[in-house]
């Protein structure tokens, strides 16, 4: 039988936000990856594996946003918030500020000797865990309604992305990970403190107009489904890191 915790009572938009916050706390922050990261328990080779694999997740996110835009209603109020997010990925036209370029500064601080190809790809192949998370997100938009698509980006990612990335930055600041050299965490910091809260607000400005119980339930169900996929990625990466 489902418990109240399993099926939260959702009557308002604020209820969706609170339910999502509780969900993220459980499936992300209580998981082994975040516990180990924050406690400084990973080795340098394990952190390198995470850094390399997250580089793939990050560089595929513009594709996720493109897929989301394709599912939006053909009105500026729907697709412009996601185009704004995509423009952030490109660094808003500022040299060296694209998210791909920012992430490279972190990756090189983890492993200054890593040999990147001319396009910035590391020699290590993408993990099946990352591939599955990316494919799950993109495939969702093929048959999503505009509301489902906006909920997937808003509640399935941006709602908690700033906090998750800030938590990762806090973990990476552990003295254990900075003994050989200081890690460059600008990529994580700008997402946590500026980009993601702004991106969520743009999605919220659209989502908050939907107040019927079934619409609110859709937001929560879509948000948890997409968020759970990302949480599975962190769990799988933890298992890969433990095997190294």
> What stretch of H or E contains 196?
helix 196-207
CA–CA distance, 223 with 200 (Å, rounded to integer) = 12
CA–CA distance, 11 with 180 (Å, rounded to integer) = 51
**Average pLDDT over the chain, rounded to an integer:** 94
pLDDT of 1 above 60 = no
Helices (H), 71-158: 76-89, 99-110, 128-140, 146-153
User: How are the residues of the chain apportioned to helix, strand and coil, as percentages rounded to the nearest 5?
Assistant: 70, 0, 30
Q: Which domains are assigned to the chain?
A: 45-242 (1.20.910.10)
* Cβ atoms 51, 106 nearer than 8 A: yes
pLDDT of 60 above 60 = yes
* Cβ atoms 106, 185 nearer than 8 A: yes
**pLDDT at position 96, please?**
83
Per-residue pLDDT of 136-194, as tens digits, reads 999 999 999 999 999 999 999 999 999 999 999 999 999 999 999 999 999 999 888 77
The residues near 193 (Cβ < 8 Å, ≥ 6 apart) are 162, 166
- Residue 147: CB atoms within 10 Å: 20
**Poorest-pLDDT segment among 3-7, 114-118, 161-165, 196-200:** 3-7
CA–CA distance, 138 with 69 (Å, rounded to integer) = 11
Per-residue pLDDT of 88-142, as tens digits, reads 999 998 888 899 999 999 999 999 999 999 999 999 999 999 999 999 999 999 9
- With b for 16 or more beta-carbon neighbours within 10 A and e for fewer, the 154-166 pattern comes to bbbbbbbbbbbbb
Per-residue pLDDT of 202-213, as tens digits, reads 999 999 999 999
**pLDDT at position 3, please?**
36
Closest CA to 216 of 157, 160, 148, 153: 148
């Amino acid at each position: 039988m489902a418990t109240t915790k399993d099926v939260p009572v959702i009557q308002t938009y604020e209820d969706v936000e609170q339910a999502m916050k509780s969900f993220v706390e459980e499936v992300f922050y209580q998981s082994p990856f975040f516990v180990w990261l924050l406690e400084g328990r990973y080795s340098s080779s394990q952190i390198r594996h995470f850094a390399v694999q997250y580089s793939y997740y990050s560089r595929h996110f513009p594709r996720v946003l493109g897929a989301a835009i394709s599912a939006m209603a053909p009105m500026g109020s729907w697709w412009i918030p996601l185009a704004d997010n995509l423009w952030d990925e490109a660094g808003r036209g500022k040299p060296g500020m694209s998210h791909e370029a920012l992430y490279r500064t972190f990756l090189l601080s983890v492993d200054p000797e890593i040999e990147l190809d001319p396009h910035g790809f590391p020699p290590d192949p993408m993990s099946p865990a990352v591939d599955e998370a990316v494919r799950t997100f993109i495939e969702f938009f093929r048959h999503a309604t505009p509301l489902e698509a906006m909920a997937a980006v808003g509640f399935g990612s941006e709602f908690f992305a700033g906090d998750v990335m800030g938590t990762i930055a806090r973990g990476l600041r552990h003295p254990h990970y900075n003994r050989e050299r200081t890690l460059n965490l600008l990529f994580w910091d700008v997402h946590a403190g500026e980009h993601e809260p702004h991106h969520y607000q743009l999605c919220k400005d659209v989502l908050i107009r939907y107040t019927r119980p079934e619409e609110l339930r859709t937001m929560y169900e879509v948000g948890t489904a997409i968020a759970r996929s990302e949480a599975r990625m962190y769990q799988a990466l933890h298992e890969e890191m433990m095997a190294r």
